[in-house]
Amino acid sequence: MAEIDPIVVDQVDALLAGETNLMTIYANASALLADAIADNNWCGFYLLNKATGELDLGPFQGKVACMHIKPGSGVVGTAFADGQSVLVPNVHEFPGHIACDAASNSELVAPVKVNGQTIGILDIDSPSLNRFSETDQATVVAFADHLGAVLDAISVNAVH
Ligand code: SME
């Protein structure tokens, strides 16, 4: 499977330069990344709801998905709790994996951080086993880091 072209990291900077609307930023970031990744069936965001402490479904490309994930639950909640990217070659072997789309077989997630604080999780699913390489993981982490810098520049905090 083709690796994700790292040019997408530069593209997200260019695409979002000057944008200040949060939904607009997340929506187009998910569209850009989904389009750049062959063989993905879901690509989008779970965003911290500070009032509930849960991760709420944000803008995404893909099928209807679970709307609330608790920190520590599933791949997304684990990444949030640890503040770290998680690469899952086979979701069926990940304890507590949350199956939103039965077609998903592998998954890659990365935290979106502002001022060192995780405010959301970027989540990508694939119908193929072992779809994502460690190089892909580095690219997606860089993408999420650049997105975090865009949010930092418009003074977004953990409240969405
Ligand atoms: N599989 C994720 C849930 C989100 S969906 O993949 C869109 C998880 O285990 O956290």
pLDDT of residue 155: 73
Can you give 120-156 as a three-state secondary structure string?
EEEEEEECCCCCCCHHHHHHHHHHHHHHHHHHHHCCC
Pocket lined around ligand 1, Cβ cut-off 6 Å: 42, 65-66, 69, 74-77, 97-98, 100, 104, 107, 123, 125
The separation between the first and the last C-alpha atoms of the chain, rounded to the nearest angstrom, is 35
**Residue 127 identity (one-letter amino acid):** P
- Residue 104 CA to ligand 1 center (angstroms) comes to 9
Does 82 fall in a domain? yes
Does 147 fall in a domain? yes
Average pLDDT over residues 77-100: 96
Which tens digits make up the pLDDT trace of 6-60?
999 999 999 999 999 999 999 999 999 999 999 999 999 999 999 999 999 999 9
Which tens digits make up the pLDDT trace of 71-84?
999 999 999 999 99
111 lies in which domain range?
7-158
Does 1 fall in a domain? no
Q: Is the pLDDT of residue 160 over 90?
A: no
Using CA positions, which residue lies closest to atom 5 of ligand 1?
100
- Residue 5 CA to ligand 1 center (angstroms) comes to 24
What does the alpha-carbon distance between residue 29 and residue 13 come to, in Å, rounded to a whole number? 10
pLDDT of residue 153: 87
Q: CB neighbours of 134 closer than 8 A, spacing ≥ 6?
A: 87
- Residue 97 CA to ligand 1 center (angstroms) comes to 7
